[in-house]
Amino acid sequence: MALRQVVSLDTDPETGRLRERVRSWLAEHLDDEFRRTAANADYLPRDSHERAVQFCRALHEQGWFVPHWPVEHGGGGLDVVQQVVIREELAYAGAPIVNNNGVNMLAPVLMAYGTAKQQAEHLPLIARSERMWAQGYSEVGAGSDLAALRMTARRDGDEYVLNGHKTWTSNGMLADWIFVLARTSPVERKRQDGISFFLVDMASEGIIRRPIRSMTGYPTFAEEFFDDVRVPADQLVGGEGEGWRVAKALLNAERTNVTRAAQAQRYLDELVEWCHRQGPGNPLLDPGRRAAVARVIEKVEMGRALSYRIAHLQAERALTPGIASLSKLYHSELAAEVRSVGADVLGLPGMLLPQDPDAVLHGHFSEGLLLSLLHRIGGGTSEIQRDVIATTALGLPR
């Protein structure tokens, strides 16, 4: 199945040829194991995740794993439209892109705020899928209200000593390293002051981690306990007390969701083709269901246009928090609506999870419906995104 575009956003012939090359390569190298799952590759069991890592290394050899990175950091250095085309095709095909925390979140921060030593140490390993990263932000009582975090980092010579607890840590069980926010000085004028951003080896003495399973059964999250964990001072990013500025830049990168519309398009195409195969029992013969699917198709096209706009703003270093939150909100809600409409069209069989032999369409809609709840919370809830849009983009009072 090929990505069908209602409106073409890449009219250059060379870009079209690139799309075909990526599509052909995926047809030959992407295993059906990954086409059949709706889950993020970092949520898969360890054996499947290892196979996904090998796929991403092969993708990197083609120059397509980090096409949006500068060449000097191991990326493809491609123009904006070429980057989006590659990432659209990967998302549509179900390619298992591992290490989102490292590739799309930490890497932009290191390019902007990291030292030359930090960039040289970490970026090549991320590009080659040789170092997996976890996000150590949330704590008990400090999730959406992140500035309430209580983990501490005390300077001791050439090291910092970290103590505290992190929870709901994305990719926490599979990661080799974790980026962590910790308080290096007590709260004075603002809670955001005195927070610092650290890169921590998960093999460090004093770290205990435990899995937190999601509703899908995947070890999606973990919690970590830090007991006098020593971190070299040269793994501090952006300077002591500058962690909030670095953290906001990372959240901007996390919230862009450039590929989410292409993934939604894939599920819609599967759904419509399945309906047509039902003959007289086609659920889309019902006017209400047909109208619901049509509305979602319209929203997917709007999402694709928004994705291209976001990519251009990123390339121009002009992406603002309000626009990033708009993209996060739009695509999180879109993913949930696509899964909800699909579940309604498929009926009771569409509720079966992928492991059930009678699951319809590989359980994409049942699994995706559960995962869409995560998307509405992770990276900042939809309510938080609306608040950011209102205050930073529209200038409304708090």
Cα of 99 vs its chain's centroid, Å: 9
* pLDDT for 111: 94
Q: Looking at 211, 241, 271, which one is the last position of a domain?
A: 241
Same domain, 228 and 259: no
The answer to whether residue 7 is domain-embedded is: no
Tell whether 93 and 145 lie within a shared domain. no
Going from the C-alpha of 301 to that of each of 265, 287, 319, 321, the distances in angstroms are: 9, 21, 21, 23
281, 353: one domain: yes
Q: Do 263 and 376 belong together in one domain?
A: yes
pLDDT of residue 74: 87
Mean pLDDT for 120-136 is 96
Last residue of a domain, one of 214, 241, 268: 241
Whether 268 is in a domain gets the answer yes
**Structural domain containing residue 59:** 13-98
Q: Is 27 exposed, middle or buried (0-12, 13-18, 19+ CB in 10 A)?
A: exposed
Confidence at residue 341, expressed as pLDDT on a 0 to 100 scale: 92
Instruction: Provide the token pair at 235.
Output: 């793994």
* Residues 194, 152 within the same domain: yes
**Cβ–Cβ under 8 Å, residues 264 and 335:** yes
Are 205 and 232 contained in the same domain?
Answer: yes
Is residue 370 domain-shared with residue 260, that is, in the same domain?
Answer: yes
Q: Single out the residue in 241, 269, 286 at which a domain terminates.
A: 241
- What pLDDT does residue 2 have? 61
The residue from 254, 298, 316, 337 that is catalytic is 254
On whether residue 331 sits in a domain, the answer given is yes
Burial class (CB in 10 A: 0-12, 13-18, 19+), 66: buried
Whether 231 and 299 map to the same domain: the answer is no
**How far is it, in rounded angstroms, from Cα 116 to Cα 62?**
26
What is the rounded average pLDDT of the residues 217-222? Answer: 77
Whether 77 has a pLDDT exceeding 70, the answer reads: yes
pLDDT average, residue stretch 274-302? 92
Does 79 map to a domain? yes
pLDDT per residue as tens digits for the range 94-104: 999 999 999 98
Can you give the CATH number for the domain in which 18 is found? 1.10.540.10
Instruction: Give the pLDDT mean for 11-34.
Output: 89
pLDDT confidence of residue 1 = 57
Q: What CATH number does residue 291 fall under?
A: 1.20.140.10
* pLDDT value of position 4: 59
Whole-angstrom distance between the N-terminal and C-terminal Cα of the chain? Answer: 47
In this structure, the answer to whether residues 259 and 227 fall within a common structural domain is: no
Question: Over the chain, what is the mean pLDDT?
Answer: 88
Pair of tokens at residue 238:
């952006």
Q: Are 113 and 237 in contact (CB under 8 A)?
A: yes
Q: How many domains are contained in the chain?
A: 3
pLDDT value at residue 256: 66
Kindly report, residue by residue over 266-276, the tens digit of the pLDDT.
Answer: 889 999 999 99
Per-residue pLDDT at 380 exceeds 80: no
Same domain, 87 and 139: no
In this prediction, residue 8 carries a pLDDT of 57
83 in any annotated domain:
yes
Q: To 10 degrees, what angle do helices 287-315 and 80-93 make?
A: 140
- Residue 5 pLDDT > 70, yes or no? no
> Mean pLDDT highest for which of 117-121, 252-256, 283-287, 316-320?
117-121
pLDDT at 3: 60
254 is known as an active-site residue: yes
pLDDT of residue 163: 98
132-141, 217-226, 364-373 — most confident range? 132-141
Q: Is the pLDDT of residue 24 over 90?
A: yes
Q: Are residues 310 and 372 in the same domain?
A: yes
Residue 248 placed within a domain: no
**Domain check: are 236 and 278 in the same one?**
no
Q: Say if 6 falls within a structural domain.
A: no
Q: Please check whether residue 59 lies inside any domain of the structure.
A: yes
